């Protein structure tokens, strides 16, 4: 077990999701201002905050994006807390703003240790930290690293003995020993109490779930080998580690009893059913305890029908699934590890169980052509999930997709701000021969409209709204969010 410490005057630690664009969703796999008005919880910061607080530190978890704060106000809030240690979350498209915020805090309180955390700095610590004047970064999965770092600072110990750091010394960046991931996730405290204490719950939105919702992580790592997926390659590895069903259901039950406004749990695991036996046991416990709160999860198409049925009986309302592409060779190129036949069977099983499916489709993989993109759109229409998204591949640093794009000289820019539109939305960044980023993005925008504005789809949604009014209102909210996105994209 992770030991606890006590102190009469606890050291203060501030964990910050820094300002950027309004409703910039930094924690998700493809950060940006999302067309469906999604805003993720800062769940990795919350994990670190929970562990620090359990071990006797005074913490501040500040989500400046959710609170709508400008940089100056967020810096002032951070400084007013008088922290000895500040951790600032990063992502690739926001990294310049993230570093600028961290430097502003450091300049306001030079004695404060200021470190970066998160995906971008974990992938490129030397490049990110050089000439910043910051103290360093926590590389990879960082909740335990944050605790050990805080303990070292509180005790005056050398930071060289803290695993998982990139330290800045005389403008040189050096790394300590990499930290092994937390093996027993049941040793970590729940994050829902931290959510309730520090965060404006109503500000967070997930268009596939009832509002308001909370986001939890029940397992880390993903045993699959998709070459584009960010978190398994940069943060927590591909070896799957999971909370026990008993530990997980305890937090869900706490939420049901202590956060009555919450209408759904969103499990943001890469794959909730990576261990189907564990998922089924969680479903059994949820039913045994009479917890009626519905939940959302990310699944894979190889999830067995029996598992789907058990989860739906326990309250699984909706799921997201990566169908990705219509060609077997494209699926093989991205190392998705699925087949078209299995994907179609998944949709049959999901419909029989009454499970809503959000289909994820991507373009721009090795060998992609305009013809293969059109086949993907036709495939999405054939599968006919409850909703769909279409995006180009985003090859974030630290992933094999990034290495492929850079080595092939397909990457349009390494100016990270250019990975977003002027309004903060996603921007395609891979130019392949005969398939430019502009062509890919135009296809994705057209595919989204073609899928969702078909007469058959609209009729299906009207029937759904009559039979399930709550789902109808969710669809209306999604439509309004999309119309607002179009206005932003047009510059109005």
Tell me: do 167 and 210 sit in the same domain.
no
Task: For residue 48, name the pLDDT band (cuts at 50, 70, 90).
Answer: very high
What percent of the chain is modeled with pLDDT above 70? 97
2 within some domain: no
Q: What is the tens place of the pLDDT at every residue in 73-127?
A: 999 999 999 999 999 999 999 999 999 999 999 999 999 999 999 999 999 999 9
Task: For residue 8, name the pLDDT band (cuts at 50, 70, 90).
Answer: low
Tell me: do 149 and 250 sit in the same domain.
no
476 within some domain: no
Tell me: do 223 and 152 sit in the same domain.
no
Mean pLDDT across 217-228: 92
Total-model pTM: 0.94
190 within some domain: no
Other beta carbons within 10 angstroms of residue 196's beta carbon come to: 16
Q: What is the tens place of the pLDDT at every residue in 296-331?
A: 999 999 999 999 999 999 999 999 999 999 998 889
Task: State the pLDDT at residue 471.
Answer: 84
469 within some domain: no
Tell me: do 215 and 274 sit in the same domain.
yes
Tell me: do 119 and 248 sit in the same domain.
no
> Is the model's pLDDT at 40 over the cut of 50?
yes
Task: For residue 473, name the pLDDT band (cuts at 50, 70, 90).
Answer: confident
> Is the model's pLDDT at 354 over the cut of 80?
yes
Separation between Cα atoms, residue 61 and residue 199, nearest integer Å = 8
Query: How many domains is the chain partitioned into structurally?
Result: 2
Beta strands 172-175; 165-169: pairing state: antiparallel
195 within some domain: no
151 within some domain: yes
Separation between Cα atoms, residue 78 and residue 15, nearest integer Å = 9
Angle subtended at Cα 10 by Cα 7 and Cα 11, rounded to the nearest 5 degrees: 130
Separation between Cα atoms, residue 137 and residue 176, nearest integer Å = 11
Task: Provide the domain limits for residue 358.
Answer: 206-452
Task: State the pLDDT at residue 139.
Answer: 98
Task: State the pLDDT at residue 6.
Answer: 45
Tell me: do 59 and 167 sit in the same domain.
yes
Q: What is the tens place of the pLDDT at every residue in 248-274?
A: 999 999 999 999 999 999 999 999 999
> CA quadruple 79, 81, 87, 89: dihedral positive or negative?
negative
Task: State the pLDDT at residue 5.
Answer: 44
> Is the model's pLDDT at 3 over the cut of 50?
no
State which H helix or E strand residue 17 sits in. strand 12-17
266 within some domain: yes
Residue 245 and residue 294 in contact, taking contact as beta carbons nearer than 8 Å? no
CATH number of residue 100's parent domain: 3.40.50.2300
Q: What is the tens place of the pLDDT at every residue in 327-351?
A: 988 898 888 999 999 999 999 999 9
Domain end (from 153, 175, 197): 175
Task: State the pLDDT at residue 491.
Answer: 57
Q: What is the tens place of the pLDDT at every residue in 378-399?
A: 999 999 999 999 999 999 999 9
Mean pLDDT across 150-171: 95
Tell me: do 283 and 402 sit in the same domain.
yes
State which H helix or E strand residue 157 sits in. none
**Which residues neighbour 476 within 8 Å (Cβ) at sequence distance 6 or greater?**
none
| Residue bearing the bigger pLDDT, 6 or 149 | 149
Tell me: do 267 and 384 sit in the same domain.
yes
Tell me: do 168 and 221 sit in the same domain.
no
Tell me: do 144 and 71 sit in the same domain.
yes
Average pLDDT across the chain, whole number: 94
31 within some domain: yes
Tell me: do 302 and 215 sit in the same domain.
yes
CATH number of residue 380's parent domain: 3.20.20.70
Residue 61 and residue 194 in contact, taking contact as beta carbons nearer than 8 Å? yes
Separation between Cα atoms, residue 214 and residue 201, nearest integer Å = 8
Tell me: do 434 and 308 sit in the same domain.
yes
Task: State the pLDDT at residue 488.
Answer: 66
What is the full DSSP assignment across 294-347?
-EEEEE-TT--HHHHHHHHHTTEEEEEEEEE-S-HHHHHHTT----HHHHHHHH
Judged on CB neighbours under 10 Å (0-12, 13-18, 19+), 236 is: buried
């Amino acid at each position: 077990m992770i030991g606890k410490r006590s102190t009469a005057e606890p050291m203060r630690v501030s964990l910050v999701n820094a300002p950027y664009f309004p409703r910039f969703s930094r924690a998700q796999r493809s950060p940006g201002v999302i067309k469906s008005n999604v805003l993720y919880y800062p769940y990795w910061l919350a994990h670190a905050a929970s562990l620090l607080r359990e071990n006797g530190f005074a913490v501040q978890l500040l989500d400046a994006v959710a609170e709508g704060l400008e940089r100056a106000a967020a810096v002032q809030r951070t400084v007013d807390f008088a922290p000895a240690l500040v951790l600032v979350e990063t992502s690739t498209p926001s990294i310049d703003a993230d570093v600028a915020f961290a430097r502003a805090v450091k300049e306001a309180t030079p004695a404060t240790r200021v470190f970066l955390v998160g995906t971008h700095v974990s992938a490129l610590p030397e490049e990110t930290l050089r000439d910043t004047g910051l103290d360093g970064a926590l590389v990879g999965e960082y909740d335990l690293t944050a605790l050990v770092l805080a303990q070292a600072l509180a005790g005056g110990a050398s930071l060289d003995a803290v695993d998982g750091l990139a330290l800045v010394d005389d403008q040189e960046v050096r790394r300590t020993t990499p930290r092994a991931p937390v093996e027993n996730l049941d040793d970590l405290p729940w994050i829902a109490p931290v959510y309730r204490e520090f965060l404006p719950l109503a500000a967070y939105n997930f268009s596939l779930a009832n509002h308001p919702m909370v986001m939890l992580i029940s397992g880390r790592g993903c045993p699959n080998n998709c070459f584009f997926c960010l978190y398994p390659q940069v943060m927590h590895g591909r070896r799957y580690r999971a909370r026990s069903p008993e530990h997980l259901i305890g937090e869900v039950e706490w939420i049901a009893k202590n956060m009555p406004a919450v209408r759904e749990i969103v499990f943001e695991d890469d794959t909730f059913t990576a261990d189907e036996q564990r998922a089924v046991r969680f479903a059994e416990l949820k039913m045994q305890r009479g917890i009626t709160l519905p939940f959302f999860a990310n699944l894979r198409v190889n999830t067995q029908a029996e598992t789907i049925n058990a989860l739906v009986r326990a309250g699984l309302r909706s799921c997201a699934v990566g169908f990705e592409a219509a060609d077997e060779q494209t699926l093989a190129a991205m190392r998705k590890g699925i087949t078209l036949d299995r994907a179609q069977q998944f949709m049959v099983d999901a419909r029989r169980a009454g499970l809503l499916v959000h289909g994820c489709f991507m373009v721009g993989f090795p060998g992609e052509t305009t013809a293969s993109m059109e086949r993907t759109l036709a495939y999405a229409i054939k599968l006919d999930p409850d909703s769909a998204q279409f995006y180009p591949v985003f090859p974030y640093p630290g992933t094999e997709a990034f290495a492929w794009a850079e080595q092939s000289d397909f990457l349009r820019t390494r100016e990270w701000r250019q990975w977003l539109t002027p309004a903060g939305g996603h921007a395609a960044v891979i130019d392949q021969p005969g398939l430019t980023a502009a062509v890919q993005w135009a296809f994705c925008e057209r595919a989204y409209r073609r899928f969702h504005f078909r007469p058959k789809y609209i009729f299906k949604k009207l029937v759904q709204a009559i039979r399930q009014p709550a789902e109808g209102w969710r669809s209306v909210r999604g439509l309004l969010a999309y119309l607002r996105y179009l206005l932003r994209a047009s510059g109005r």
